[in-house]
A and B are shown apart, each in its own frame.
Chain A
Amino acid sequence: MSIVETSHLSIGYLKGKSRTLVQSDLNLELNNGEMVCLIGPNGSGKTTLLRTLAGLQKPLRGDVKIKNKLISELSQQEKALEIALVLTDKVQIENATVRDIVTLGQLPYTHWLGGLTDEGREKVDEAISMVHLKQKANYYLNELSDGERQRVMIAKALAQDTPLIFLDEPTAHLDLPNRVEIMLLLHRLAHKTQKSIILSTHELDLALQAADRIWLMSETDGVICGVPEDLVIDGSFNRIFQSEVYYFNATNGNFSMNYPLTKELSLSGDKTRLYWTLRALARSGFYVTANARTHINITEKGWEVNGEISPTIEDLLLKLATFTEI
């Protein structure tokens, strides 16, 4: 069942009298308990789409429906009961503890002074332990690392107890362990609590692994939706992330650089070593074909060229550099 639907949605922004159209005629659907990753080059409108879906900005045309109700007809308070946000805005509050911030997530449910109900307090505790910050609940915000702060904002969104969570680049500025951790956390949340999650990200490989569905945005082709693997196989990724200097490698889900390859070699040997040797050779401008004049044989001892064995790739590359005719 879909919880968010858009029909003929055009997004963009108004600046003075000029209108900048970013994407037009989008017909998107988000299902219950599904995690969607929003991927696309810079300028393809990821943030604009998220803001429009969240009702933070108006669509240029078309409409957004949440639970079959037009978002433009919901009050700010009603929206807060459906959608929780994690944004890229920097949060810097003096003297605020982790618990203080997470408690703000309960704001839509509290009376005018902001006092918590017992149920609300439970929700806050639960949110804090879900992001593994129980030990640091009484720490001040400025005592936390970037990754922990991001988890605090996610906990705030969880404490808001909404069926929808939208996150704008939640993994930006984080190191790899934190990025993986946050993606896993969100994936688990979507499946365990049946919340629907949309997040924008630049982490292609992580998104491919964690997302139930990808919304692939491009400046020219609109938004392509699908299960990640389908989009890889049908070449959508390759098309959208095409460039002269890199290409999307469908075999491993990574971007690979396009080196100018002018010299040829042939290669044989064990699989893992073969892979890494290929990478090193590509960086030095070699491509591998079956019938090249020079052949490298990879063995347990090292890399054998013309009867000489190099113990390391570094040594091999030095040796290859002395060959004038390859």
Chain B
Amino acid sequence: MQSRNTILFILLTVLLVILFLADITLGSIRIPFNDTINVFFGNSTNNINSEILLNFRLPKAITAILTGASLSVAGLMMQTLFRNPLADPYILGVSSGASLGVALVMMASSFLPVLFISSGWGLIIAAIIGAALVLLLVVGVSFKVQNSVSLLIVGLMFGTMASSLVSIMQFFSNPDAVKLFVMWNMGSLSAVTWNYMYVLFPVILTGLLISFLLTKRLDGLLLGENYARGLGIPIIQTRILIVIATGILAGSVTAFTGPIAFVGVAVPHIARGLYRSAKHQFLMPACILLGASLILICDIISQIPAHALPVNIISALFGAPVIIWIILKRK
């Protein structure tokens, strides 16, 4: 059992590395693999190639990894928190909450200092707060609504409400701000330049660290609230920490890439199936590896056409069937 898991971890890590290299090598402009290696070892003379690789493809691939890992871990924690196999940041409206936060910063707050917005901190903080607030609302509702599908519908409604508020804001904002927001909302992995990466990377690392510290408590939560308390887990504190960690992970990613659907719901199920375990100690690293690989695959596919497709279109294409499969399996 233990050795099987070790082999799986090694395989997934190798897969992730291969996909990472593939994502850097492949793209609309062909760069031979030799040149790629040369660029990374500093021997390249081709300025255009090194510009594309170092300042475009590399940050994009790293963003893909961060995005996949964050959304999957956020999804895993939400599924455990709500004891609901269909929970995920997108479905429960957390991503919409993040959008609302971003919209507020971009359109409604012309009085904020420019630096605050352009450095990325403004975006990321607004998105995290928006995400965490919606999550808190859903947690509040989850005390009243036990049925898992009903909770999803409530989440969808929160998401719709957040989107409506965004639309209203667009209606009353000046055209420049609206244009800025619309560009953002289309979302793409390449939105994260190195400047933004210095913000995104440490924030996501913090989110993942909090999540890892919660593995044991998450295991206990699987038994339900009362049993978890009986095992000495401080429930309210744990819930708050999960909301914070999920808010950080889902919010900060959404702040830059826009909403990406269904990765958060699908990956934890793939991890559970592969590892045949419910222990977060295994599931959490598995979600990181699988989620990162998945977004890399989506990114690679999205570059096949001449004009790259938004990555969330590809992720929805395979993520939505996974949800249908889960619902059918539960009947």
Contacts and interface: CB of A to CB of B under 8 A. Distances in A.
Interface stretch (A9-17, A102-110, A261-269): A102-110
A278 interface: no
Contacts of B277: 95-96, 100
Contacts of A87: 224, 226-227, 230
B235 to A, nearest CB: 8
Interface in A65-90: 75-81, 83-85, 87, 89-90
B22 interface: no
A114 interface: yes
Contacts of B213: 112
Contacts of B224: 87, 89-91
B231 A104 contact: yes
Interface in B156-185: none
Interface residues of A, number: 33
Contacts of A115: 281
A93 interface: yes
A56 interface: yes
Contact of B215 (A77, A89, A112): A112
Contacts of B234: 75-77
Interface in B221-249: 222-224, 226-227, 229-235
B278 interface: yes
A104 B223 contact: yes
A197 interface: no
Contact of B279 (A76, A79, A90, A114): A114
B222 A93 contact: yes
A200 interface: no
A63 B216 CA distance: 32
B215 A113 contact: yes
Contact of B227 (A85, A96, A112): A85
A219 to B, nearest CB: 25
A190 to B, nearest CB: 19
A80 B231 contact: yes
A101 B276 CA distance: 14
A76 to B, nearest CB: 5
Q: Is the interface of A mostly helix, strand, loop or mixed?
A: loop
A54 B232 CA distance: 12
A114 B217 CA distance: 9
B223 A56 contact: no
* Most chain B CB within a 10 A radius of its CB, from A90, A105, A112: A112
A126 B16 CA distance: 41
B232 A79 contact: yes
Contacts of B120: none
B35 interface: no
Contact of A76 (B215, B219, B232): B232
A227 to B, nearest CB: 29
B276 to A, nearest CB: 5
Contacts of A78: 232
A84 B230 contact: yes
A160 interface: yes
A124 to B, nearest CB: 14
B268 to A, nearest CB: 10
B92 to A, nearest CB: 19
* Most chain A CB within a 10 A radius of its CB, from B213, B220, B273: B220
A175 interface: no
A111 B215 CA distance: 11
B229 A107 contact: no
A325 interface: no
A110 B230 contact: no
Contacts of A104: 219-220, 223, 231
A94 interface: yes
A114 B229 CA distance: 16
Contact of B230 (A54, A90, A91, A96): A54
B278 A85 contact: no
A249 B105 CA distance: 75
* Most chain A CB within a 10 A radius of its CB, from B219, B273, B277: B219
Contacts of B222: 93, 96
Given A94-B272, A96-B222, A113-B216, A83 B278 contact: no
Nearest to A91: B223
Contact of B226 (A56, A75, A108, A114): A56
A107 B233 contact: yes
B276 A95 contact: yes
Contacts of B219: 104, 107, 114
Interface in B184-225: 213, 215-216, 219-220, 222-224
Contact of A95 (B231, B232, B272): B272
* Most chain A CB within a 10 A radius of its CB, from B230, B233, B235, B272: B230
Interface in A9-33: none
A79 B281 CA distance: 25
12 contacts: A56-B226, A78-B232, A85-B227, A89-B224, A89-B227, A91-B224, A91-B227, A95-B276, A100-B278, A108-B231, A110-B216, A114-B215
Interface of B: 85, 213, 215-216, 219-220, 222-224, 226-227, 229-235, 272-273, 275-279, 281
Would you list the 7 A-B pairs with minimal beta carbon distance, nearest first?
Answer: A80-B232, A114-B216, A85-B230, A77-B232, A96-B278, A108-B232, A107-B231
Interface of A: 54, 56, 75-81, 83-85, 87, 89-91, 93-96, 100-101, 104-105, 107-108, 110-115, 160
